[in-house]
Structures are given as structure tokens and as C-alpha cells.
Amino acid sequence: MPIYKNYIGGKWVNSKTGKTFPSINPANEKVIGRFQLSDSRDVDAAVRAAEKAFKQWSETPPPARGKILLNIANILRKEKQRLGKLVTTEMGKVLKEGLGDAQEAIDIFEYMAGEGRRLFGRTTTSELKNKSCFSIRIPVGIVGVITPWNFPIAIPAWKMSAALITGNTIVSKPSSDTPLCAVELVKIMEEAGVPKGVVNLVTGSADNVGTPIVKHRKIDCISFTGSRSTGEFIAKEAGLKKVGLELGGKNAIIVMDDADIDLAVEGILWGAFGTTGQRCTACSRVIVHRKIKKVLERKLLSRVRKLRLGDGLSKKTDVGPLINKAALEKSRKYAALGKREGKLLCGGSAVPGKGFFFQPTIFTNVKPRSKIAQEEIFGPILSITPVKNFDEAIKVANSVEYGLSSSIYTNNIANAFKAMQKIEAGITYINSSTIGAEAHLPFGGVKGSGHTREAGWTGIEEFSHEKVIYVDYSGKLQKAQGID
């Protein structure tokens, strides 16, 4: 059984605890490796290493940092097939999605490498003569990166690429469900030439590693993707750090009576059951016009009943397992609740045997305030709610506490543009599903989905400060605001 180590100060080292924990393939429940069960002492060591490396890395010209990020992208491209299979093995998503996970990492490192030549500030005029005003980008400092299991290579890549190009050093804690993916990503970063101490990896539990990172006085920034409850904890405990929180969603696809129904069915299938519903942008609600509800359900059911569950490495598999037993039990609980809150159209049960498999499940006639229509399930469970018109559809879409992604299928251009304005979400798709974010655009939500904006140009803003510079070349003391 392979035993993997923490990466601190450019060395692979054992935890101070001397203890390890397993990572399990969710398709067959086999252990694929053991990892360091670290504690606050290991976090302290990682912070010291990051602190030591910060001066040299932050003073490295951004284009030179960009060359290293481009090296990472090129190695990731060479290793894409291996990494995609690893994602599928450790996390469970089907292979084409595992490869997509690796491709996202390639895309974001490539994009952020270019940002090394575009760390733009702003220049503006002064209210005084012979005075210049502009801003520059400076790194935040040491960044604590805490990432989930559902995109075990892509999400760490989103965060670390932006943090690195802006000159920060990193202490990273991956999910304990997918630590091997994190180890392999850091190995690639090491191979690409990231200096010692710039990136540090500490595996372990939320209580013994995550909380010490959040509370550490020498960590200047926290970037977290995960549950809303954990995000609320971080917001309360992080102190005066810069904090970025991406906290999931309860995303809706609206299907109007003038929509292309077959196209909408394709989008619903992908949004609801891709990644077994384990995406923060997954579609867990369909809001459909009453006029087309029956035909939509008929076509959707016909497709869902053909979906094949199994190991994601098999070419025959359409839907892989849930991540672990707790996720399986959570889906089971919400399915039981759904049988009381709506009408079961298909699925509703766990699959007996090895692996954490749950049937793709659809409930219809679900009221907007029902728990299965309000709470994030993070599993293959979809609720259908009928509405009488566009205004009601928007009201139902906005009736949840989350606001990450959204979608509307319509051929009415006026309703499409109204939806862009009226839906309370960080992302809105027109005639496409709720998933499919691209690396060069901002990603994030509103309301209970958090406030961070990762990827794209706003990724730079998440991991840097904008420092304002005033240069007075008048040769005398000039006082602003009209003070003589």
C-alpha cells in the first residue's frame, strides 16, 4: 500500500503525528493509498516555509513567474490521460469528465501564465497640477487554499495559478476524499520549476488542518470552495484575512413553452446527472411552463431510464458513483423526503453492492418551498416545478438562498434578455445547461453561494491588492480637496 507524504519547503515529509488515513475508490471501495493525517504542527511548518519563500517569489518578475506556469500547463497536457484516469479512480466521475477536469487545469495555468504580462493597474488624472496618480498590483502574502473533492485537479489549479502569478506563496489543504490528485498536481508543479517553499501541501482533516489554516495569524488570505456551513465558519474565524468563498448552489433550468424541448432535455440530463449531480453548478431544479410539462417529462424520462451506472473507467458507464458513504446516505435521505414532497417519476434508491451508487432520480410537482427544492443535495436528484408564465418562473428561480448558476431555454429574445437581468445568480446560460464555465471568464455566485470571483481577470483581483501610488513632481507641498 503506497504511503504519500506532505510537501513542505520543497521536501516530501511525514506528518508530525506519524498517522495516516486512506483514500478510497468510490466505485469499488478499494483503498488506493494512505496519506498523512496531519495537525497544526504541520501547518506551522508549511507556513514557515511559505514565509521564507515569499520575498524571492514576490520579487520575481511576473513574466518569469508566467514561464513557470506555462511549464506546468505543458506538463499537465502531456500527463492529461494519466491524470484523467486518476480523477476517475479517486473521485468517481466518468472518464470523459475526468479528462475534462485535467483540461480545466491546463486551460487555467495557460491563461494565468499570460497574465504575467498583464497585471494591469490603472492610471487616472489628479485634481492637482504636476501630480500623477496610478495603481499597481501587489501580492496578498501567504494564501491558504482549501479545496473540495469534486474537481480535485481543476479547482486547486484555478486557485493556485492565480495566487502564484500574482506573487503569493501557498499552503494548500485538499479534500481528504481526493488527496492523491492533489499530490500529483504538486509533483507536476515541482517538476515545472516552482521554487522550494512557494507551494506547500498538507493533508488531513478539516478540524486538524483546515481550521489551523483558517485561524493562522501569518496566513493573509483564505480561498475556499465547499459547503455553505463551512464557509460561514471561515467567515467568522478567519479574522482580518482576505477571504474568498465559493459555496455551492441550488441551480435552476427554466424551460419556457417556446423552447426547443429536445435541446432542453439534453441540457437537463447533463446538468442534473453529469458528475452524478456533484457539481456546485449542477441543475437540481427544472422550472417548466405548464403547457409543455408532460412532453418534457416524457422525453426526459425516456433518456434517464437509459443511463447506465458503473465504474467511470468503463466506456459503457454514463453515471459514476457518489463520492462516499455519507453522500450516499444524504441522497437516500432526500429521496425519502422527496416521496412526501412530490411525485416520484424514476429512481429514488441506492444500488446494492460495492460502490456508492444511487439511481438518477426525478420528482415532479414539487412546490418551490419544499426542502428538496431549497436545500443543496449534491447528488443525482432532480425536482420539477410547473409554472404558468415567465414572471412566475423567475420568482421560483430566485426563491432559494443560493445564487450560483442558472439557465433558461427560450426562443423569445425579450425573455432571454429579461432573464439575464432578473435571475439572481453569478452565471446565467441561455439555451444551454447550468454547467460549462470557461477558464478565461469569472466564476462565482451571489447570495448564499458566496462572493468570490475565480478564474478570468477577476482571479487576479482575488489574490492581489490594488495599491494606489501618488507622484507629486511640483516641488512643493500640495494639499488635495481644495485645502490651501
| CATH 3.40.309.10 residue window(s) in the chain | 251-430
Span 324-349, average pLDDT: 97
Q: Domain 251-430, what architecture? A: 3-Layer(aba) Sandwich (3.40)
pLDDT (tens digit per residue) in 213-225 = 999 999 999 999 9
pLDDT band at 1 (very low <50, low <70, confident <90, very high): confident
Question: For 192-243, what is each residue's pLDDT tens digit?
Answer: 999 999 999 999 999 999 999 999 999 999 999 999 999 999 999 999 999 9
pLDDT of 482 > 90? The answer is no
Report d(CA 273, CA 290) in Å as an integer.
23
User: Judging by beta carbons within 10 Å of its beta carbon (0-12, 13-18, 19+), is residue 136 exposed, middle or buried?
Assistant: middle
- Structure-block grid coordinates of residue 165: 502569478
User: Which region among 92-101, 170-179, 386-395, 473-482 has the lowest average model confidence (pLDDT)?
Assistant: 473-482
Kindly report the pTM of this predicted structure. 0.96
- Residues paired with 377 in a beta bridge: none
Confidence of residue 125 (pLDDT cuts 50, 70, 90): very high
Instruction: Give DSSP secondary structure letters for 115-151.
Output: HTT-----EE--SSTTEEEEEEEEE-SEEEEE--SSS
pLDDT tens digits for range 49-96: 999 999 999 999 999 999 999 999 999 999 999 999 999 999 999 999
pLDDT class for 183, splitting at 50, 70, 90?
very high
Is 484 a residue whose pLDDT tops 90? no
Residue 323, helix vs strand vs coil:
coil
Q: What is the mean pLDDT of residues 284-310?
A: 98
Q: Where in the chain is the domain with CATH 3.40.605.10?
A: 6-247+450-469
- Spatial contact of 225 and 246, defined as CB atoms under 8 Å apart: yes
Q: Give the DSSP letter string of 401-463.
A: SEES-EEEE-S-HHHHHHHHHHS-SS--EESS-S----TTS-B--EETTBS--BSHHHHHHHT
Confidence of residue 172 (pLDDT cuts 50, 70, 90): very high
What percent of the chain is predicted at pLDDT more than 70? Answer: 100
Average pLDDT over residues 426-454: 96
Q: Is residue 280 annotated as a catalytic residue, yes or no?
A: yes
- What single string gives the DSSP state of each residue in 265-321? HHHHHHHHHGGGG-STT-EEEEEEEGGGHHHHHHHHHHHHTT--BS-TTSTT-SB--
Question: In the prediction, which pLDDT does 46 show?
Answer: 98
Q: What is the pLDDT of residue 16?
A: 97
Please give the average per-residue pLDDT across 109-138, as a whole number. 97
6-247+450-469: which CATH architecture?
Answer: 3-Layer(aba) Sandwich (3.40)
Q: Which of 280, 283, 454, 462 is catalytic?
A: 280
User: 447 pLDDT exceeds 90?
Assistant: yes
Q: How confident is the model at residue 476 (pLDDT cuts 50, 70, 90)?
A: very high
Q: Which of 97, 246, 297, 376 is catalytic?
A: 246
Question: Is 329 among the catalytic positions?
Answer: no
Q: What is the mean pLDDT of the chain?
A: 97
